[in-house]
Structure 1
Amino acid sequence: MFTGIIESLGTVKEVRQDQDNLHLTISSTITPELKIDQSVAHNGVCLTVVAIDSDSYTVTAIRETIEKTNLGDWKIGDSVNLERAMKLGDRLDGHIVQGHVDQIGFCVSVENANGSWYYTFEYDENLNNLTIEKGSITVNGVSLTVVNSKQNQFSVAIIPYTYEHTNFKNFEVGTKINLEFDVIGKYVSRLHGLRK
């Protein structure tokens, strides 16, 4: 369980294909605090630490994860949003984030708003996910509030702190991102027959 509040940025040091699996080695300042078998969210994808070496650690993604996320596009030098799992009793500063990406989306607009930024994202509406105005959404692991919710599109407003401390500063039109829709909204839509 995560909150969507990014702790640190990591850098991809190695990407290694092993049959259908992808082994990703990440360099990060949080590495000394990690343990093998711990869960860490990487751009919102919950992955298990399988090896630690100095300031780097390795996680493994299986085909199911690779097909539903942007992990397959990662390359050496890419910046990754990182969050360790929430401790029981901690404040929930973002919203309930599972680290289970629902689908990918694409950045379709970046607008500088005189000190902040508006990003607009588009996603495949045929997967029956939805957003609501002022509802929660997780973009690359970042807990955000939806503005301008549409059928298959939504925007988020990014403050300077989030811009500087996440990989949002690298987004441009066409950037592929991971989306986790609000878990409460998913249950409500399922109960009302909107999701299959």
Structure 2
Amino acid sequence: MFTGLIREIATVKSYRNNILTIQSKHKAKLGDSIAINGVCLTVIKVNSDGFDLELADETRSIIDESKITGQVHMEPAMKMNDRFEGHIVQGHVDCVGTVAKITPRENATDFIIKVDSKYIAHIVPKGSITIDGISLTVNDVFEDSFRLTIIPHTLNETLMKNYKVGTTLNVETDLFARYIDHILSHRNRKKSMSWDEVDAIQMSY
């Protein structure tokens, strides 16, 4: 589990044969879960200046692999005694979004992010969303897009300052919206669900 608060801007050293080599100040351990641009990956090797991660076929089929080059957002998984900030982030990317419009304002910048319309049901006005691993608040939701308002601190401390119209993004929608939608869609098919079935749905995420 992650919080969506970026701990470091790390650097991709290489990406070959599904192995991602990251240069980072973070002292990882073998088997650690680490989110790279919002994608939860497992450390398979520790190096003197970082670590190696492996991308499964399922992961590569969902994300935009161009997002794992150059500089990337890095967040290690939460520890049990960590202070909880941001929001609950799983590191399970739902879809790839695209920056459709950027509008500078007096003390913030608006981003319109376009996604496949089938994901809009899981994007909640004033709710949370994860963009390339960053925990953000949704302001408005439209038919096939949504609006974010980014304060200067977030813009300056993340790679969002480099985003342009057409930039692709790893998008993780709201965890609870996905749960509720999944449960309700199953209830429509059956008169009721057992608690064992609800638990099975939750464990599938």
Same fold per superposition (TM over 0.5): yes
Separation in 1, partners of 2:157, 2:173:
22
1:2 has 2:2 as partner: yes
> Structure 2: 5+ residue runs without aligned partners?
190-205
Separation in 1, partners of 2:111, 2:47:
36
Q: Which has the larger radius of gyration?
A: 2
1:30-69 correspondence to structure 2 within 5 Å: 30=26, 33-69=27-63
Q: C-alpha displacement at 1:126, in angstroms?
A: 3.1
Q: C-alpha displacement at 1:91, in angstroms?
A: 2.1
Q: 1:148 to 1:75 in 2, by over 3 A?
A: closer
Q: C-alpha displacement at 1:151, in angstroms?
A: 2.4
Q: C-alpha displacement at 1:89, in angstroms?
A: 2.8
Conserved in 2, the CA contact under 8 Å of 1:41 and 1:141? yes
| Deviations 1:115-162 (CA, angstroms, capped at 9, x unpaired) | 321111111123565312101101101111001111221111112221
Equivalent residue, structure 2, for 1:108: 100
Letter in 1 for 2:110: Y
Equivalent residue, structure 1, for 2:23: 27
Q: C-alpha displacement at 1:105, in angstroms?
A: 0.7
Letter in 2 for 1:66: R
2:172 to 177, 180, 184: 180
Q: C-alpha displacement at 1:179, in angstroms?
A: 0.7
| Deviations 1:157-196 (CA, angstroms, capped at 9, x unpaired) | 11222112211112111111111111111111223329x9
1:73 has 2:69 as partner: no
Q: Specify the SS of the correspondent of 1:193.
A: helix
Q: 1:6 to 1:120 in 2, by over 3 A?
A: same
Separation in 2, partners of 1:149, 1:176:
18
RMSD of Structure 2 on Structure 1 (CA):
2.0
**TM-score, structure 2 normalization:** 0.85
Q: C-alpha displacement at 1:73, in angstroms?
A: 1.5
Q: Which has the higher helix share?
A: 2
Separation in 2, partners of 1:174, 1:122:
10
Q: Calculate percent identity across the aligned residue pairs.
A: 37
Equivalent residue, structure 1, for 2:201: none
Conserved in 1, the CA contact under 8 Å of 2:67 and 2:169? no
Conserved in 2, the CA contact under 8 Å of 1:51 and 1:57? yes
Conserved in 1, the CA contact under 8 Å of 2:113 and 2:147? yes
**TM-score, structure 1 normalization:** 0.89
Conserved in 2, the CA contact under 8 Å of 1:8 and 1:165? no
Separation in 2, partners of 1:137, 1:99:
11
Separation in 1, partners of 2:126, 2:40:
25
| Deviations 1:37-76 (CA, angstroms, capped at 9, x unpaired) | 1000011100011112221211110221011112x22465
Q: Specify the SS of the correspondent of 2:141.
A: coil
For this pair of structures, how many residues does the alignment match?
188
Separation in 1, partners of 2:93, 2:35:
10
1:11 has 2:16 as partner: no
Separation in 1, partners of 2:73, 2:147:
19
Bigger drift between 35-44 and 86-95 goes to 86-95
Conserved in 2, the CA contact under 8 Å of 1:8 and 1:81? yes
